Structure 1
Amino acid sequence: MEEAPYTAFTKWQKLWLVVVASLSASFSGFASNIYFPAIPVMATSLQTSIENINLTVTSYMIFQAITPTFWGAISDAYGRRLVLISTLVVFFSACIGLALIKHYYQLVILRCLQSTGSASTIAIGSGIIGDVADRKQRGSYMGFFQTGLLLPLAIGPVLGGIFAQTLGWRAIFWFFVIYAGIFLVILTIFLPETLRRIVGNGAIYPPARSRAPLEGFIASRDRKQPPLTSTTPIRPDWIAPLRILFVPDVFLTLFFLSLHYATWQMAITAQSSLFKSTYNLSEIEIGLTFIANGFGCMLGTLSIGRFLDYDYQHFKKKFSGPASDFPIEQARLRTVWFWSPFQCAAVLWFGWTLDQNVHMASPIVASFVLAWAAMSIQAVISTFIVDIFPKSSASATAALNLARCLMGAGATASVEPSINTLGVGFTFTLWACLMALSLTFVGVQMRFGPTWRKRREKRLEEREKG
């Protein structure tokens, strides 16, 4: 019997779904960084300190870490479509409130709610890609998806600086209201369901609650099978991301990624106040300094995607053993031995040029290199996580997000006190050393990971049979 294809979606239908996933993820990218250039003026407007405004970045990241744990579990149980629309409704509502706030405490509360709505789009978007792309294509698709997440890092701070200096910082949140409102209408009308336990490889017709009104306009295909029926209701596995986080074949890799992500996040959080105090820049000028970071992010994700696919195929051709013994850990993780030292060097460059008041061009270029390396590492680890958890890709991505955002929240909360105590140069030197030490975790993962993964897969298989 001929084996069914991994997906019944055509090339153009898959492209549409990846575009939707990427645009959805852009809300998280925009919301996390668009108001960095406005931090000084917001502190003045709300009569609080820059350190307190930085704490709203920390609170945002804490909820960015926690909430995808629940949304991802619901998405893996009830489908991508319903959950994605629900999260964006939360985001839309929070942005209306943020545009109208008068007090600092309201900013903290509503930023947490905004994060609850936007952060989960990353896990759900990764789930959509895991639903429709096999391993051979997943690297390129994940790279394209990461672009949607990271393009806002290039243009978000610029827009934030322009809004803050011309229309006022509240215009930042009115922009989100318009953007989210338009996208919600598009999702509601056109987005098809992709969850494999509901539509299989896409050939199964979804039940009414998972069906888009004009789905056929975008995703018309030969669906010969009726909707799946089951006497046992599917319940969300709320702790699936936590279980994934602590399994041996994942934990070390996620800890490695989290340190690198936190260092990058710490740098871009401190960038606005450091550039203002060091070079006396305006809000628009501060926003322009973030362009290098954004384009570094884009270069990292776009260049690494196709390279991951090529490197995977090259490694697979050289492997002569049985498919069950294929070391996916070595195939995916070996490139981080280049990217991690690259990021460490960029962190030292960024910190010490600011510390020594070198011309601003130098730390701006350093931020480009730092972002390039950081996003390349993130793309590698994200693809690896989806590879080893193909049936629960949204929960796996939520686990990744939980680890990196909690570490990032701690880093952003500590950056101002650390700079005040140690100075800019030594603060970033400390984190560069931590990143370098974490490379040992990758070595352990590549050496023992295949054994740990096989044990986990065997236990899972026995549990499903039992």
Structure 2
Amino acid sequence: MAEDNNREMAMGAVAPSASTPDDPFLVNFSTGFEYVNPKDWPSRKKWIMTSVLSVTGFNRIMVSTIMAPALSTIAQELHMSGTEAIMAMSVYLLATAFGPLVIGPLSEVYGRKPVLHATNIWFLVWNIVCGFSRNRAELLAARLLAGFGASAIYALGGGVLGDVWRPEQRGRSLGLYLLIPLLGATVGPILGGFIVEGTTWRWIFWSTSILQGVMIVGSIPLFSETHAPTILRKKAEHLRKITGDPRYFTEEDVLALGRSISWVLMRSLSRPMRLLLFHPIVQVQACLSAFSYGILYLVLSTFSDLYVKQYQESTSISGLHYIAICLGEVAGGQIARPLMDFVFNKMTRRADGVSKPEFHVPLMLPGAILTPIGLFIYGWAAQRHLQWVIVDIGAALLCFGMQMGGQAMQAYVIDTYPNHTSSASAASQFLRSMTAFGFPLFAPTMYAALGYGWGNSLLAFCAIGIGIPAPLFIWLYGPKLRARAPSSY
């Protein structure tokens, strides 16, 4: 309370000159090495922050898919129907739709560090509970709550990358950050298949909990606060304390002038939905990424079943086909990594050194073309029972295209909303998680009615109708939309 009063006194004393960059009481990164701008940190420290988030994302994403090969076993032991078993896997993704809407804004109020550590522990507790579930209700509830904690990575990932990396380094940082988490989505079913055959399905959760515990211990000393406004706020508080002068303030204090803490908190918590409802750029990105994410989880949830039922493979061997998906995603991300920075820097030079977020857009178009091609190959090869390698090539090409386009789109949003990247990421993640939750539920019915050929062709036609116009729309109208967009504060 005393600190809040000091802040009000400070704002009352210096608010008239708050917009002056050289105001002696305006706290910024111009002085003090210990408070250096995260974007100016040494590369080694930046990579440590990026690696902590990357490894954390690996486990949380792996847990979302590791149940896939065990669904029939879990359904039999806990007396669940096939749909209920799929729901047990998908409810985790439902939680990741709503979690970032709270977690993202909180990280912009209290900082990335406390939010990361708190959600790490929350996820660990409920993932352990999943392994001890005795009935379907307990499993569904524990998966839902574990998913809420896991959802932090979807908000914090983009936020931390935006905190420490500059636009011209966006491809490099995104590519290496996503490398490990991309492995998680496909390593999960492979690992799950061998665990189910070798021991009980409960070790799916206990083994990932052990890994989570190790990561928590490692992240506590390694991860530093990256959120610039939080760093500056702590610096201002420190200066007010050691000098006894209440006039030190930050730019964030100016924005909150005359507002209560509850108003600031509610304004922050409403930000993701305001961005989704009133910012066309976020709407386009959210719809495009939601469709791609839904297709990815539709494929992940049915891929093992395809090889077990139509190619008569064992559960563990069927899980090895997820390697094709993994290779497609990793290759897409790593090829996009240097291309993104090359195209961005080349277009910036052509524009006389003036960069724009739209310079990330050209790389979206190849991804939009490759995605439906992969769907056609995968669907009709499976329909006609062709050699399994052709099916895998189609799935790999599908994931290659989605990853390349999605990575470029994510970079565009980070650069468009540098001050509220976590909230913008949370807005898009809401739709992404809803489709990831919903698409696997209708997949069995769709394939039973249309077969793999026409079922995937239907998805391919939708991908053409959504994926190709989107980058053209952003390229033509993105600058105007950004200029007219209301403030994200």
Question: TM (normalized to structure 2)?
Answer: 0.84
Q: For 2:424 and 2:309, how far apart are their aligned partners in 1?
A: 40
**Is residue 266 of structure 2 the alignment partner of residue 238 of structure 1?**
no
Question: Do the aligned partners of 2:193 and 2:319 also contact (CA within 8 Å) in 1?
Answer: yes
**Is residue 459 of structure 2 the alignment partner of residue 431 of structure 1?**
yes
Partner of 1:112: 144
What amino acid maps onto 1:460 in structure 2? S
Give the superposition deviation at 1:253: 2.9
Q: Where do 5+ consecutive residues of structure 1 fail to align?
A: 208-225
User: 1:169-211 CA deviation, whole Å, 9 max, x = no partner?
Assistant: 11110012111111112222332111110114x995997xxxx
Q: For 1:57 and 1:99, how far apart are their aligned partners in 2?
A: 13
Q: What RMSD in Å do the two structures reach over aligned CA positions? A: 2.5
The residue correspondences of 1:65-464 to structure 2 (distance < 5 A) are: 65-200=97-232, 204=235, 233=261, 235=265, 237-246=268-277, 247-320=279-352, 323=354, 327-329=356-358, 331-438=359-466, 439-456=468-485, 459-460=486-487
Partner of 1:216: none
Q: For 2:235 and 2:163, how far apart are their aligned partners in 1?
A: 13
Question: Do the aligned partners of 1:123 and 1:394 also contact (CA within 8 Å) in 2?
Answer: yes
Give the superposition deviation at 1:261: 2.2
Question: Do the aligned partners of 2:92 and 2:144 also contact (CA within 8 Å) in 1?
Answer: yes
Residues 368/107 of structure 1: CA separation in 2 closer, same or farther (3 Å cut): same
Question: Do the aligned partners of 2:365 and 2:405 also contact (CA within 8 Å) in 1?
Answer: no
Question: Do the aligned partners of 2:333 and 2:407 also contact (CA within 8 Å) in 1?
Answer: yes
Q: For 1:125 and 1:63, how far apart are their aligned partners in 2?
A: 17
Q: For 1:319 and 1:28, how far apart are their aligned partners in 2?
A: 41
Give the superposition deviation at 1:117: 1.0
Residues 203/315 of structure 1: CA separation in 2 closer, same or farther (3 Å cut): farther
Give the superposition deviation at 1:444: 2.0
Q: Secondary structure at the match of 1:37?
A: helix
Q: Secondary structure at the match of 1:460?
A: coil
Give the superposition deviation at 1:156: 2.1
Q: For 2:38 and 2:316, how far apart are their aligned partners in 1?
A: 48
Q: For 1:419 and 1:328, how far apart are their aligned partners in 2?
A: 39
The residue correspondences of 1:22-101 to structure 2 (distance < 5 A) are: 22-101=54-133
How many residues in Structure 1 have an aligned counterpart in Structure 2? 437
Question: Do the aligned partners of 1:73 and 1:395 also contact (CA within 8 Å) in 2?
Answer: yes
Partner of 2:243: none
User: 1:77-100 CA deviation, whole Å, 9 max, x = no partner?
Assistant: 101111111111111111111111
The 4+ residue runs of structure 1 with deviation greater than 3 A are: 3-6, 202-207, 226-234
Q: Secondary structure at the match of 2:125?
A: helix
Residues 93/203 of structure 1: CA separation in 2 closer, same or farther (3 Å cut): closer
Q: Secondary structure at the match of 2:397?
A: helix
Q: Which is further off, 347-356 or 46-55? A: 46-55
Residues 204/303 of structure 1: CA separation in 2 closer, same or farther (3 Å cut): farther
Give the superposition deviation at 1:423: 1.9
Which one has the largest radius of gyration? 2
User: 1:385-404 CA deviation, whole Å, 9 max, x = no partner?
Assistant: 11100001111111121122
Question: Do the aligned partners of 2:373 and 2:397 also contact (CA within 8 Å) in 1?
Answer: no
Q: For 1:307 and 1:204, how far apart are their aligned partners in 2?
A: 38
Q: Which is further off, 169-178 or 351-360? A: 351-360
Question: Do the aligned partners of 2:364 and 2:406 also contact (CA within 8 Å) in 1?
Answer: no
Q: For 1:91 and 1:149, how far apart are their aligned partners in 2?
A: 16
What amino acid maps onto 1:444 in structure 2? F
What amino acid maps onto 2:151 in structure 1? A
What amino acid maps onto 1:166 in structure 2? G
Question: Do the aligned partners of 1:157 and 1:291 also contact (CA within 8 Å) in 2?
Answer: no
Give the superposition deviation at 1:288: 0.9
What amino acid maps onto 1:288 in structure 2? L
What amino acid maps onto 2:265 in structure 1? R
Question: Do the aligned partners of 1:296 and 1:368 also contact (CA within 8 Å) in 2?
Answer: yes
Residues 97/169 of structure 1: CA separation in 2 closer, same or farther (3 Å cut): same
Q: For 2:432 and 2:405, how far apart are their aligned partners in 1?
A: 12
Q: For 1:46 and 1:282, how far apart are their aligned partners in 2?
A: 22
Q: For 1:76 and 1:442, how far apart are their aligned partners in 2?
A: 29
Q: For 2:225 and 2:407, how far apart are their aligned partners in 1?
A: 25
Q: For 2:402 and 2:222, how far apart are their aligned partners in 1?
A: 34
Q: Which is further off, 359-368 or 171-180? A: 359-368
Q: For 1:368 and 1:441, how far apart are their aligned partners in 2?
A: 23
Question: Do the aligned partners of 1:37 and 1:161 also contact (CA within 8 Å) in 2?
Answer: yes
Give the superposition deviation at 1:146: 1.1
What amino acid maps onto 1:183 in structure 2? M
What amino acid maps onto 2:465 in structure 1? L
Give the superposition deviation at 1:44: 2.4
